[in-house]
Structures are given as structure tokens and as C-alpha cells.
Amino acid sequence: MKLKDALQIEKTIPNATPKFRFIDLFAGIGGMRIPFDELGGECVFSSEWDEFAKDTYELNFGHRPEGDITKIAARDIKDHDVLLGGFPCQAFSNAGLKRGFFDTRGTMFFEIQRILAEWRPKMFLLENVKQLRGHDKGRTLETILSILNGDAPPIPDDIPMSLEARKSLQKKLNYDVDFKVLSATEFGVPQRRERVYIVGFDRDHYGNVDASVVFANLEQREAVTRLSDALEPEGSNEVAKYTISDRLWEGLIRRMARHESKGNGFGHKVFGSNDGYCNTITSRYYKDGREILIDQSHMGLNPRRLTPRECARIQGFPDWFDLSACSDTQLYRQFGNSVSVPVIRSIATSMLKLSNRLEAGNNKVAVG
């Protein structure tokens, strides 16, 4: 699906008789839930700790997420068919210290695990940074997958987690699980953003199931990406205030030269509207925008930052998504921490198709 088509998808009107129920953990501003809403699902629980992200979420979806998931008992979450979780990635990312499970942010996976153990939803979709695949020579991801499929070895006592999460490890899960690293550019999104996606299907519900079919049958792919599809018109009033100052531009040039002389990897990057895609937007974008600057030299101007709306578009958020709840600074953080909606849309569609096929074969009630 071309980006322009994805941006024009209309907001879903809630169905009085939803096809399935899902929960949205580490919800951010709701990027993962948009496609599941579109497919007829009902979100029965969401959780997010950041108050500003909650503001944006509430404005767009009509209800405010609950707070810190570590303080919410699993039994207090409603029954659901699908669990969504873009669990915190800093513990595994290049930008962080890569401490994994020994970082409290890395242990948020065990909050997902305890909810799966309590409710045993039919399916789940998890998202994290690409670096999760190689963290601790692959052992971290191997441990996550083994917990999900029920083959996990004992988890060391020095891995910090809540008491409920520790107790729930005694309840063996039985999901068929697969993962894949996907780039947003494969789905028409003009941003070089690679993430690990993990899907799972409950064997106790579906019987014999092969989760890898989800990734084998992804649709809505688009080989051509164009940054111009996400940008406001040149010289428009919407972009004028985002031109960076002479002082900031000169500072970025000096810092680039200083780091290059030391052989370090540092840099701002200037993109033109004819480029196919830009760098990955991160939560630090609000600081100086150096990862993605838009060229304006042909107009005699310094480069400019992306506008918040352009950030939304390079993440594939439809244009109905309302940005008025927060400041630009908060919006930059929110979109830097969010997901590429078209990627989630393709995975969600494939998950529900596989579920329906399995349900029909088992003569059970279809999901979706």
C-alpha cells in the first residue's frame, strides 16, 4: 500500500459487536492498536506510564490508558483474544547500555509473560528494536522465545522482576512463536526503521499451528518509498518555524567535523524531498533534529526539522490522528517511541487470516 493511501484511511467507528477483544500494553500513543481497531477489534484494556502520551492516546481513542503495568495485577485485566505489546527497547538498543534483562526496562517482558500466563489469549504481537536479536549473542531473544513456547530454563534469581511475574513463570506457556526483523521501507514508509516483531498462537486453543505463516503471507507491501509523500509543501506556513537557526546549524557542522577528525560516527543528515526515505526517527529528535533535517538550500535557507505531522506520516499514522493534545517536544518524543503503523497493519491482517483459517478447520468460533 502506498503511503498516501495509508495516510487517507479513515478512522474506525467502533462496532457494537466486535469481532475480537485485545489489550494494548506499553501503548504509547496507540500506533499498534490502530490496525486492530480497523480489523474490527475492541480494545478492552490499555496501559502506558507517560502522562503526555496518555493525553494523546485519550484524545484519539476516547479512553485514558491505565498507568504503570507493574502495579496492575494480571487478574484486574479483562479477558482478551489478542495481546499487543511494544515493550521498552532501551535496554537492548544501541542508544542504551544494552543491559537487557538486568535493566529494569528490559524486565518489562516479564510483565507481558505474567499476563499471558493469567489469561492465555489466543494470539499476541510484540515489537522491539532490531538489536534484541543479537543481544547477549542471541541468548536474550532465545530466552524470550523459550518462555513463550514453554521450554524455558529456570530464570536466575538476580534478574529483577515483580513477585507476581516470578510466580507466573511456574505456569508454562504453550505458544507457537516466530519472529522476524522487518523494515518500514518494505511497507511504503519512507523511513529506515528496522524492528523485531514476535507473533505467537496458543497451541492449547488452535492445536497444530505454524506461526511463521504470518510472516510468509504478509500483504500490503510497497516497494517504492518517497519522502515527499510525507512532507508538507515547500515554503508553506506550516514549515516556516521549523527552519533551524544559524547558530544551531553552524554548531552541527562543527560537531560533525570534530567527530570526523576523531573517526567517530556522529552526524546530522540532510534529506531532500526526492529521497526515498530518511533515517530512523528517535525519541531524542526534539533536542536538535539532527538525525533528519530537510534540505532548503535551494530556497537560500538553512535545513529544517520535520514538523510533528510529518513525523506522524513517516510512521504511517493516518492523517485523522489528532496531534493537538501536546507540545511539539512531547510529540517528537511520542513518534520517536512509536511504531510504523503500516507494518503493524500487514502483520495484523496476516495474523487474523491465519486465525480464521485455523478456527474454521477446528470448527471453532472465528476470530476477526
Beta strands in the chain (DSSP E): 20-25, 41-46, 82-85, 123-129, 175-183, 194-202, 270-271, 293-294
**pLDDT band of 263, cuts 50, 70, 90:** low
Instruction: Verify that 163 and 284 share a domain, yes or no.
Output: no
**pLDDT band of 261, cuts 50, 70, 90:** confident
**End-to-end CA gap in the chain:** 21
Instruction: Verify that 146 and 251 share a domain, yes or no.
Output: no
Length of the chain: 368
Instruction: Verify that 205 and 231 share a domain, yes or no.
Output: no
Phi, psi for 32 (deg, rounded to 5): -75, -30
201-228 confidence digits (pLDDT tens): 999 999 999 999 999 999 989 989 999 9
Q: What is the DSSP letter of 335?
A: H
- CATH number for the domain including 173? 3.40.50.150
- The torsion region of residue 287 among left (phi > 0), alpha (psi -120 to 50) and beta comes to alpha
How wide is the angle at C-alpha 213 spanned by C-alphas 212 and 219, nearest 5°? 120
The answer to whether residue 367 is domain-embedded is no
Decide which of 324 and 110 is more confident.
Answer: 324
233-254 confidence digits (pLDDT tens): 988 888 999 999 999 999 988 8
Q: How many domains does the chain have?
A: 2
Determine the pLDDT at residue 153: 75
Element (H, E) at 38: helix 33-38
Instruction: Verify that 292 and 355 share a domain, yes or no.
Output: no
**Cα–Cα dist 230/311, whole Å:** 8
CB neighbours of residue 112 within 10 Å: 23
The three three-digit cell numbers of residue 126, written as one number: 510484540
Determine the pLDDT at residue 100: 42
Instruction: Verify that 275 and 296 share a domain, yes or no.
Output: yes
Q: What is the DSSP letter of 103?
A: S
Q: Which of 43, 89, 278, 311 is catalytic?
A: 89
Instruction: Verify that 163 and 134 share a domain, yes or no.
Output: yes
The answer to whether residue 368 is domain-embedded is no
**Contact criterion met (CB below 8 Å) for 164 and 114:** yes
| Strand partners of residue 243 | 304
89 is catalytic: yes
Determine the pLDDT at residue 92: 43
**Contact criterion met (CB below 8 Å) for 122 and 82:** yes
Q: Give me the residue label for grid cell 512532507.
A: 231
Q: Which domain holds residue 95?
A: 3-223+339-362
Instruction: Verify that 316 and 249 share a domain, yes or no.
Output: yes
